[in-house]
């Protein structure tokens, strides 16, 4: 008999198997894993292919920018759509779009377009970014529909584990698949995205369509997530901390340069380097699944972001493959704690009817820190050099931690995550 967890149970008392016993959650978990795996394989293939064609750090920066611009334009409308329509169908359609964009990359490679210009690749990546813009709020707002409130922290940890495991396996797998050429990598990604679309379509849980507030204009609906976050300092602080910390400490975009010119380890080594942060994250996430953060959550998060910045500095200075891998492991583990806290805090601090739009704003910040961070890293590397760019970014991350602890004292003082409430309900702090 499946164990039913009471909504009043603390997260540590919720059975892991009671979460995994839910059919729709298993489908969601499988889809998220395979979709993330394909994204990582594609990222390794595109990064290596474009750098080998251009030998330009700026070209790698434009890989991130091409994906970021459509996401930042479409995420707010996508959040509104996720709150008003069936999230599983939105997710399925968005993965079809991502599959088509990968097919475009394969066609450009097969026809020899890559030998003459890389701008068609940026066009395909822009379409990929548009697909992600709609998948992100729909999938991020889906977990609370599948589990109880008591199961939510553990379900989020398990979901994060699927994502992080994919980011461990994906880059290494992508590096080895790339030995057979970019077409092999793009073919695997296309098939994976199609399978993910079918997985989401097979989910039976339906999102209850929210009635449209007649007092709100279309613009008001789109910006409601931003307005809510501005009223909730702990959410604003958590989202913006991740934005600026990862934006400044984004060494991952420059890994093709480290693999090729500094560490001299080739595409196979690039795959391992890309897997480094995810391996560290998997280890820490396994700890979080077994032992969720119970107390002093705000202080723990800030300490881990500072550790992320320090490890970034050491990585930037390293010319030793083993030391570089160790620093990437630490970076991934430290970042995982921040991801876990933010991913759990936002659903708990947000009314269900607003979760799609708030998740869209969160994803906009994440995209800025990742894709725009890649552009910033490429720009800085082209301006002051690769190693100085990474070191300065790590120092900036540590500075952001100190500033945010001062600007958002409520976030710093968050004690137990389960005490976080939406709207104007009191927040327990310590």
Per residue in 54-99, pLDDT (tens digit) is 877 777 778 877 887 888 788 788 887 877 788 889 999 999 999 9
Judge whether 64 and 253 are in contact, CB under 8 Å. Answer: yes
- Distance, CA of 93 to CA of 87 (rounded, Å): 10
Predicted pLDDT at 215: 56
Judge whether 6 and 132 are in contact, CB under 8 Å. Answer: no
In terms of CATH architecture, what is 11-419? Up-down Bundle (1.20)
Task: Specify the pTM.
Answer: 0.67
Per-residue pLDDT tens over the stretch 291-330: 777 788 889 999 999 999 999 999 999 989 999 999 999 9
Q: Which parts of 178-205 fold into alpha helices (H)? A: 182-201
Pick 373 or 162 by higher pLDDT. 162
Q: How many CA atoms lie within 13 A of 208 on its CB side?
A: 9
- Say yes or no to pLDDT of 13 above 70: no
DSSP 8-state assignment for residue 413: T
DSSP 8-state assignment for residue 425: S
Is residue 202 packed enough to be buried (19+ CB in 10 Å), middle (13-18) or exposed (0-12)?
A: middle
- Say yes or no to pLDDT of 9 above 70: no
- Distance, CA of 68 to CA of 367 (rounded, Å): 6
Judge whether 325 and 272 are in contact, CB under 8 Å. Answer: yes
CA 309 to chain centre: 18
Predicted pLDDT at 219: 59
Of 365, 341, 346, nearest in space to 356 by CA: 346
- Distance, CA of 176 to CA of 272 (rounded, Å): 10
DSSP 8-state assignment for residue 369: I
DSSP 8-state assignment for residue 211: P
- Distance, CA of 182 to CA of 147 (rounded, Å): 39
Radius of gyration for the chain, computed over Cα atoms and rounded to the nearest angstrom? 21
The residue count for the chain = 430
Per-residue pLDDT tens over the stretch 15-52: 677 778 788 889 999 999 999 899 989 988 888 888 87
Pick 125 or 20 by higher pLDDT. 125
Predicted pLDDT at 343: 76
- Contact partners, residue 165, CB within 8 Å, separation at least 6: 33, 278, 282
C-alpha dihedral (166, 168, 173, 175), degrees to nearest 10? 130
Per-residue pLDDT tens over the stretch 226-262: 777 777 888 888 888 877 776 676 677 788 888 888 8
Pick 427 or 277 by higher pLDDT. 277
Question: How many CB atoms neighbour CB 122 within 10 A?
Answer: 18
Q: How many CA atoms lie within 13 A of 332 on its CB side?
A: 28
CA 328 to chain centre: 17
CA–CA distance from 287 to each of 75, 143, 198, 274, 290 (Å)?
Answer: 32, 20, 32, 22, 5
- Residues linked to residue 146 through DSSP beta bridges, in sequence order: none
């Amino acid at each position: 008999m499946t164990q039913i967890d009471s909504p009043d149970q603390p997260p540590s008392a919720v059975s892991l198997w009671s979460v995994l016993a839910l059919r729709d959650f298993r489908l969601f978990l499988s889809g998220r894993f395979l979709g993330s795996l394909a994204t990582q394989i594609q990222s390794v293939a595109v990064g290596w292919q474009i750098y080998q064609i251009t030998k330009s750090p700026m070209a790698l920066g434009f890989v991130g920018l091409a994906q970021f611009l459509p996401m930042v334009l479409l995420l707010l409308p996508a959040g509104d759509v996720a709150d008003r329509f069936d999230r599983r169908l939105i997710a399925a359609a968005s993965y079809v779009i991502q599959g088509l964009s990968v097919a475009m990359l394969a066609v450009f490679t097969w026809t020899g377009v890559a030998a003459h210009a890389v701008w068609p690749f940026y066009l395909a990546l822009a379409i990929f970014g548009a697909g992600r813009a709609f998948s992100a709020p729909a999938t991020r707002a889906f977990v609370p529909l599948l589990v109880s409130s008591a199961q939510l922290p553990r379900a989020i940890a398990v979901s994060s584990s699927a994502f992080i495991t994919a980011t461990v396996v994906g880059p290494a797998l992508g590096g080895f698949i790339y030995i057979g050429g970019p077409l092999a990598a793009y073919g695997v990604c296309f098939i994976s995205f199609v399978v993910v679309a079918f997985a989401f379509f097979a989910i039976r849980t339906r999102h209850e369509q929210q009635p449209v507030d007649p007092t709100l204009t279309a613009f008001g609906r789109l910006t409601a997530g931003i307005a809510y976050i501005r009223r909730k300092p702990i959410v604003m602080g958590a989202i913006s901390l991740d934005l600026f910390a990862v934006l400044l400490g984004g060494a991952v975009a420059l890994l093709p340069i480290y693999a090729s010119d500094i560490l001299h380890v080739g595409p196979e080594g690039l795959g391992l380097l890309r897997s480094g942060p995810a391996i560290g994250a998997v280890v820490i996430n396994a700890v979080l699944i077994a032992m969720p953060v119970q107390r002093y959550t705000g202080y723990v998060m800030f300490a881990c972001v500072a550790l992320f910045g320090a490890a970034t500095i050491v990585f930037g200075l390293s010319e030793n493959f083993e030391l570089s891998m160790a620093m990437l492991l630490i970076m991934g583990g430290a970042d995982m704690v921040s991801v876990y806290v933010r991913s759990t805090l936002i659903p708990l601090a947000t009314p269900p009817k607003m979760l799609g739009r708030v998740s869209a704003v969160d994803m906009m910040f994440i995209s800025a820190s990742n894709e725009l961070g890649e552009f910033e890293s490429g720009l800085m590397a082209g301006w002051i050099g690769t190693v100085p760019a990474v070191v300065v970014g790590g120092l900036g991350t540590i500075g952001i931690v100190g500033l945010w602890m001062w600007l958002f004292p409520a976030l710093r003082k968050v004690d137990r995550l389960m005490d976080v409430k939406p709207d104007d309900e009191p927040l327990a702090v310590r």
